[in-house]
A and B are shown apart, each in its own frame.
Chain A
Amino acid sequence: MSQARAGGCKSEISFTVNGVFSTVRAYPMERLLDVLRGELELTGVKEGCGEGECGSCSVLMDGALVNSCLIPALQASGANITTIEGLGEPTRLHGLQKAFLECGGAQCGICTPGMILAAFHLLRKNPDPTLEDIREGLAGNLCRCTGYAQIFEAVAVAARRGDVS
């Protein structure tokens, strides 16, 4: 990892987000969440609790699902980050997005970006999950609207269809 300049100063931190190499000027202790939403204007990443409990801020960092509210920007240096904006394309939704739409997996939508990324992460590791696997995989993402059932169904549908890369 590159060494940032010491002191309460901003420094240049670079990483790849949704396939695009980006450099930002940020304090090393700025939360990755705030850098993504602020400097990079990726407002699909949401803040729900700031304590790593709700998962609304979930992103993928080097392939691992993480809570971006708990990551200092400096620790993301050199990483490969995927946010909801990096899933699917404007004209072609990702299989999970389609399934969420069909099954009612999104109600108010605030947990949805994190939830979809958590599901994406689950299906990458386990393309054929049981209901219990889905429950566990999504247990770190809180939803207050749906009671989870239609979210589980969306994940199961997407898994069955297999278009989840």
Chain B
Amino acid sequence: MFVSYAFSFTIREQVRRACCGSRLGSRRRGFPVKDNRIVGVSVPRKEGRDKVTGRARYIDDMTLPGMLYGATIRSQIPRGKIKSVNFGAGINWNEFAIVSAKDIPGKNCIALILDDQPCLADGVINHPEEPVLLLAHSDKHLLPKAVAAVSIEYEPLPAIFTIEDSEQGREIIWGADNIFKSYLIEKGSVDGIWQAAAHVVEGEYTTGAQEQLYIENNGVIAAWDPEQGITLWGSLQCPYYVHKALMALCGLPAEKVRVVQMETGGAFGGKEEYPSMIAGHAALLAMKSKRPVKIIYDRMEDMAATTKRHPSRTRHRTAVSQDGKILGGEIDFTIDGGAYATLSSVVLSRGTIHAGGPYYWPSVRIRARALATNAPPHGAFRGFGAPQSLFAMERHMDRIAQVVGLAPHEIRRRNFLKVGQTTTTEQVIGEEIDLGHLLDRALELSSYHAKQARFKKENLSANIKKGIGIAAFLHGAGFTGSGERYLSSVVGVEGIANGNVRVLVSSAEFGQGTKTILCQIAAEALGLPYENVEIGQPDTLEVPNSGPTVASRTAMIVGKLVHSAALGIKQTLIANAMLDPTYSPEQFRDACRDYVATHGRFRSLARYQEPNNIYWDDQNYRGDAYAAFAWAVYVAQVSVDLTTYHATVDDFVALQEVGKVLHPVLATGQIVGGVAQGIGYALYEKVVWKDGRMQNGQMTNYIMPTSADLPSIRVFFEEMGNVHGAFGAKGIGELPMDGPAPAILNGIEDALGVRFDSIPLLPEDIFVGLTDPLGEQCHPAGAR
């Protein structure tokens, strides 16, 4: 019927315009971005069919014969010594496999960076929910009662839970001074700038913990065989991280540990380092019981016991000239790492390097520290330190704007990094980025000026105050500095018997599109149809170590290696006179089949080579921090309802320059999803702590946005290309996490004229900010 067709078409257009406005606009000078045959096209998700039919196999969908179920007994106190462990009555303990620290064959630690985190507490507790004992039984229903029947007597020790308590040394709970790591970045001479400054602007900005809240909880299955060693299947991002950890824990050589990634239902960093812990537990139980062991957390356990985003506190003190130029400043960036070091040094690193935002700092001193508290260790979460320090920077820019008397967009425009200038780590901006243009485009797409003017008028009499806020930022792709050289990733592409090629990487798919884009790249490189490229399951027995699936490195770094390895297959066939350089896909596949039939295994490997012109000084934290940056300007239109003090995002523009967009639908999906998490980070997701333990560890009480809470998120790309990434791609996975929170809080300040510098910003906080102790509205709450 015509009317209904038009109506539903309109929705589709509405939604498409709203969220998929993938404008591949303004080709800038620099690396040419070509239109390709497969790369740049939204081909079907490689594993999509299995996902929409329910056939995709996640870890809890798998069972093994004779399998036991495992459970973890965890500490109930934040800090102390274990005095005794009592196995209570009413349980037939003989039926259970029981593992404690003394059963650990290798080293009692989760091998990562500092190796300070025990796999099982050995007499000492440093955080609530710390694992102490493990149980396994064939009937999973018996486990909760058994866990409850184990009582542990503690001698409690004083515990600390805040950055302030840690830095003041109220208790020393780690090392000599509670400091996991510190960095100092010094550029120019900061001490001389204050005299010349027309303005000195100070601010303090704080961010809370955030739970990754993948919809699939952590889970693994471990099997043990004296000959083959440990096999571990799991929901994870980094098979080789788990591999390394199990080797150390179980005292096994590399060839006796095998890790296989199953379909993974969301990760966002929460399955970067944590799986080594749950895998270690399952492996120990498997070795003790000689049976396969499955451990799947329920939501309460996953929320309370696993990693969260590091809470942060950033202090800015900035010298600004009369015309609004940053002369220099001091930035103090501190993150709360929880009880053990885990990845805090790396989170700190990224946060520190991003702390100056996309601006030119003639001089700066950035002091950064990661501190210990008695909370479960905080860990990787999309953005990895950058959302924290960029929140501060972008809130601070609006403060600078106010003090100087310039508009938020103007203050940014005057300070944007330009080609040839250096970042805070003295990396020269070599690519032809034009942030002023990006800003202009974002302002236009969001109708910023018209809306701001309109809101200013309407707010005088409206009970729902409206505002609009900007955030400009950058995100470095790949590991910092020499990190990629250290990883020395290897990728394989294999010709197989049916004439197809297969990509071999340890890079995991967990929704971001790893499988799809890597197959696109290989297909493009070889001139093959997308359907003739397969990708192997990440299995350490079968695939080389292409590095962890983190740091927005998969498209850029791993993709580039896939490209090289694929070309290696082609070159081999041509060199063996089995293929003419101007081959057709059918000829390629015939040649491939022939090669495999004749020679057997047909594999091409490519190893990461650091580009020649990248220099990084790890001692002084200076130089080329990242091979490439993605750049973005986000604009959030918000409203605050003064009846309920709810802030809502009504419209959101996300504009970013990301090199080549390999797959428009996937790329848009990454941005929308990341912005949604950023909105949650800003306005909804609060971890309620009590004595180091999360109190609201259920989905009812940890609030993530539903479909009814999110606005149209309108996504736009600029493509400038990037010499280092596959087909010019840069990383995009984490970028969208950095912008929403500051853009939203900037918008709220625009709406209310009241400053909020801490997230999550809940209605209760807005209420307190707007009213006096009697609950009377004490701010005029109009637009500036």
Show the binding face of A for B, using Cβ within 8 Å: 37, 42-51, 53-54, 56, 83-85, 87-88, 93, 96-97, 100-113, 116, 127-131, 134-136, 138-153, 156-157, 159-160
Given A49-B299, A93-B53, A145-B669, do A153 and B265 touch, yes or no (CB 8 Å)? Answer: no
How close is A147's CB to chain B, nearest CB, in angstroms?
A: 3
In angstroms, Cα B212 to Cα A104, docked, is: 21
Cross-chain contact A150 with B214 (CB below 8 angstroms): no
Cross-chain contact B512 with A107 (CB below 8 angstroms): yes
In angstroms, Cα B707 to Cα A151, docked, is: 10
Cross-chain contact A153 with B57 (CB below 8 angstroms): no
Residues on B with C-beta less than 8 A from A110 are 58, 214-216, 265-266
In angstroms, Cα B706 to Cα A69, docked, is: 19
Question: Contact flags (1/0) for B683-715 with A, using CB distance below 8 Å?
Answer: 000000000000000111000101110101100
Cross-chain contact A153 with B12 (CB below 8 angstroms): yes
Q: Is B16 an interface residue (CB 8 A)?
A: yes
Cross-chain contact B51 with A112 (CB below 8 angstroms): yes
Cross-chain contact A145 with B58 (CB below 8 angstroms): no
Closest partner residue, chain A, to B51 (CB atom): A109
Closest partner residue, chain A, to B1 (CB atom): A128
Given A51-B299, A139-B706, A149-B712, do A131 and B216 touch, yes or no (CB 8 Å)? Answer: no
Cross-chain contact B44 with A48 (CB below 8 angstroms): no
How close is B634's CB to chain A, nearest CB, in angstroms?
A: 14
How close is A33's CB to chain B, nearest CB, in angstroms?
A: 11
Closest partner residue, chain A, to B302 (CB atom): A49
Complex partner residue of B58 from A42, A46, A157, CB under 8 angstroms: A46
Cross-chain contact A160 with B52 (CB below 8 angstroms): no
Among residues 211 to 229 in chain B, which have CB atoms less than 8 Å away from a CB atom of chain A? 212-217
How close is A111's CB to chain B, nearest CB, in angstroms?
A: 5
The CB with the most chain A CB atoms within 10 A, among B45, B511, B668, B713, is that of: B511
In angstroms, Cα B49 to Cα A84, docked, is: 12
In angstroms, Cα B53 to Cα A96, docked, is: 10
In angstroms, Cα B58 to Cα A128, docked, is: 34
How close is A165's CB to chain B, nearest CB, in angstroms?
A: 16
How close is A50's CB to chain B, nearest CB, in angstroms?
A: 6
Cross-chain contact A101 with B706 (CB below 8 angstroms): no
Cross-chain contact A111 with B215 (CB below 8 angstroms): yes
Q: In the complex, given contacts A42-B54, A107-B513, A108-B510, what are 16 additional A-B residue pairs having Cβ atoms less than 8 angstroms apart?
A: A48-B216, A53-B698, A85-B54, A97-B53, A104-B42, A106-B48, A106-B51, A109-B52, A110-B266, A128-B4, A129-B8, A142-B706, A144-B673, A148-B672, A149-B15, A159-B8
Complex partner residue of B298 from A44, A50, A145, A147, CB under 8 angstroms: A50
**How many B residues touch A, CB cutoff 8 Å?**
68
Cross-chain contact A147 with B672 (CB below 8 angstroms): yes
How close is B319's CB to chain A, nearest CB, in angstroms?
A: 39
Cross-chain contact A145 with B673 (CB below 8 angstroms): yes
Complex partner residue of B53 from A85, A140, A143, CB under 8 angstroms: A85
In angstroms, Cα B150 to Cα A24, docked, is: 34
Cross-chain contact B708 with A139 (CB below 8 angstroms): yes
Cross-chain contact B11 with A150 (CB below 8 angstroms): no
Residues on B with C-beta less than 8 A from A139 are 706-708
Closest partner residue, chain A, to B267 (CB atom): A108
**Which A-B residue pairs are the 5 nearest by beta carbons?**
A44-B54, A110-B265, A108-B511, A109-B51, A147-B676
Complex partner residue of A144 from B8, B217, B675, B704, CB under 8 angstroms: B704
Cross-chain contact A144 with B266 (CB below 8 angstroms): yes
Cross-chain contact A138 with B707 (CB below 8 angstroms): yes
Residues on A with C-beta less than 8 A from B18 are 149
Residues on A with C-beta less than 8 A from B674 are 147
Cross-chain contact A100 with B699 (CB below 8 angstroms): no
In angstroms, Cα B676 to Cα A49, docked, is: 20
In angstroms, Cα B783 to Cα A32, docked, is: 53
In angstroms, Cα B650 to Cα A58, docked, is: 29
How close is A158's CB to chain B, nearest CB, in angstroms?
A: 9
In angstroms, Cα B710 to Cα A128, docked, is: 22
Complex partner residue of B665 from A42, A103, A111, A135, CB under 8 angstroms: A103
How close is B736's CB to chain A, nearest CB, in angstroms?
A: 9
Complex partner residue of A104 from B12, B55, B665, CB under 8 angstroms: B665
Closest partner residue, chain B, to A38 (CB atom): B63
In angstroms, Cα B700 to Cα A151, docked, is: 23
Residues on A with C-beta less than 8 A from B676 are 146-148
Residues on A with C-beta less than 8 A from B666 are 104
Given A106-B51, A110-B266, do A147 and B215 touch, yes or no (CB 8 Å)? Answer: no
Cross-chain contact B263 with A109 (CB below 8 angstroms): yes
Complex partner residue of A149 from B20, B47, B216, B268, CB under 8 angstroms: B20
Cross-chain contact B266 with A49 (CB below 8 angstroms): no
Residues on B with C-beta less than 8 A from A45 are 54
Cross-chain contact A53 with B700 (CB below 8 angstroms): yes
Complex partner residue of B11 from A43, A47, A48, A131, CB under 8 angstroms: A131
List 20 contacting pairs A-B, 8 Å CB cutoff, sorted by A: A37-B61, A45-B54, A46-B215, A46-B216, A48-B217, A84-B54, A93-B52, A97-B52, A104-B668, A106-B45, A108-B51, A109-B511, A144-B268, A146-B676, A147-B672, A149-B18, A150-B19, A153-B16, A159-B11, A160-B5
Q: Is B172 an interface residue (CB 8 A)?
A: no
Cross-chain contact B265 with A131 (CB below 8 angstroms): no
In angstroms, Cα B712 to Cα A153, docked, is: 12
How close is B596's CB to chain A, nearest CB, in angstroms?
A: 29
Residues on B with C-beta less than 8 A from A112 are 51-52, 54
In angstroms, Cα B673 to Cα A142, docked, is: 12
In angstroms, Cα B263 to Cα A159, docked, is: 29
Complex partner residue of A101 from B52, B263, B669, CB under 8 angstroms: B52
